[in-house]
Structure 1
Amino acid sequence: MWYYMGKMLPAQPAQAQQATQPVAVPSVPTVSANPIFMELDPFTVTLNRNGFSRVLYVGFTLRFEDQASMERVSKYLPEARSRILIELSSLNPETIHDKETPDLIKEAVKRVLLPAFYPEPYTQHISNVLFTNFVVQ
């Protein structure tokens, strides 16, 4: 079989032949060197449940994986803010001071902004939700 090659090569063990062949590197998604951030105006929400009341004042900055996701959220900002506001208003005022609540809020914001905005067919790719304000009274 070696005689079909353009030039004659001395016979090599199979392991040595594999070592000389280039190894295919799996493709990795390209991450932008410049982060893509969008700051949202703060939200003020009154949390009421079972006669217990708190006021939550919270602001976010969203970090996007791609420019198109940021542009979609910007284009549909009233709907995005509405989704976040509805999610924040469902929080329990009795557990708002718990240590894990900020992480739950961050995941909830990512979750409610993930679905596509009608009539857009694309979902948003948000890599992080950062707090810029977090006040509970």
Structure 2
Amino acid sequence: MSDNAAAPAKEKTKSKKLLVIIIGVVLLLVLGGGAAAWLLSSRAHPKEEEAAEEPAPAKESAAKGPPTFLPMENMVVNLADPGGERFAQIGITLEVADAKTADQVKQYLPSIRSGILMVVSQRTSTELLQREGKEKLSNDILREVSKPLGFPVYTPKKRASQDSEDEEEERAARRRAEKNPVKRVLFSSFIIQ
């Protein structure tokens, strides 16, 4: 009987060893597959790693941080449509270089709002419904915001031929406009009725 009792015990130990070996092989395959996937994914994006290692360009490093946004109250303006029955409700947010500029803009806010209302009231609904019309309005609003701060806004002239003096004046205006601390005019809402 001792041989009969020893046979099931040997089979149990063999099956346990086989189970441990199978689990070990499966774990080894999973770990190997994970390591291979990690290596392949790190080799697939070498440009991102190189870009992360390179120093930031001088222009970006000169930036002091994220831009400051200055939201303005929504404005309701009658448009220049025939009959005067159409109006626009516009929400504007200004992107400025820093908090100091935002404080300067706040000091001139009544005159800036008045200038913006005058500019918007000269537009028609058909003009403002098109993207080009909104972009032109954005540039005109930027000009109105920049005027009290003493910064010009560069508007490219569309001419086939220009004198060399005109080109020099245009380049100088472009350089002054690049220093403008009011970066962009963003529309937070734009409703025409």
> TM-score, structure 2 length as denominator?
0.50
State the alpha-carbon separation in 2 of the partners of residues 106 and 82 from structure 1: 15
Identify the residue that residue 107 of structure 1 maps to in structure 2. Answer: 139
State the alpha-carbon separation in 2 of the partners of residues 126 and 84 from structure 1: 15
Identity over aligned pairs, percent: 25
Identify the residue that residue 136 of structure 1 maps to in structure 2. Answer: 192
State the alpha-carbon separation in 2 of the partners of residues 38 and 91 from structure 1: 24
Q: Which runs of 5+ in 1 are unaligned?
A: 1-25
State the alpha-carbon separation in 2 of the partners of residues 27 and 99 from structure 1: 34
Residues 4-32 of structure 1 deviation map (CA, whole Å, 9 limit, x = unaligned): xxxxxxxxxxxxxxxxxxxxxx9648212
**C-alpha deviation, 1:47, in angstroms:** 0.8
Identify the residue that residue 69 of structure 1 maps to in structure 2. Answer: 101
**Is the Cα–Cα contact under 8 Å of residues 64 and 70 in structure 1 kept in the other structure?**
yes
Q: Which runs of 5+ in 2 are unaligned?
A: 1-56, 152-179
RMSD: 2.2
**Is the Cα–Cα contact under 8 Å of residues 52 and 94 in structure 1 kept in the other structure?**
no
Are the structure 2 counterparts of residues 115 and 108 from structure 1 closer, same or farther at C-alpha, using a change threshold of 3 Å?
same
Aligned mate of 2:124, from 79, 85, 92 = 92
* Structure exhibiting the larger radius of gyration computed from Cα positions: 2
Aligned length, in residue pairs: 108
Structure number having the greater helix percentage: 2
Identify the residue that residue 41 of structure 1 maps to in structure 2. Answer: 73
**Is the Cα–Cα contact under 8 Å of residues 138 and 185 in structure 2 kept in the other structure?**
yes
**Equivalent residue letter for 1:69:** T
Identify the residue that residue 31 of structure 1 maps to in structure 2. Answer: 63
> TM-score, structure 1 length as denominator?
0.68
Structure number having the greater strand percentage: 1
**Is the Cα–Cα contact under 8 Å of residues 69 and 125 in structure 1 kept in the other structure?**
yes
**Is the Cα–Cα contact under 8 Å of residues 38 and 62 in structure 1 kept in the other structure?**
yes
State the alpha-carbon separation in 2 of the partners of residues 130 and 59 from structure 1: 8
Identify the residue that residue 9 of structure 1 maps to in structure 2. Answer: none
**Equivalent residue letter for 1:112:** E
**C-alpha deviation, 1:42, in angstroms:** 0.4
State the alpha-carbon separation in 1 of the partners of residues 129 and 148 from structure 2: 32
State the alpha-carbon separation in 2 of the partners of residues 70 and 98 from structure 1: 30
**Equivalent residue letter for 2:131:** K
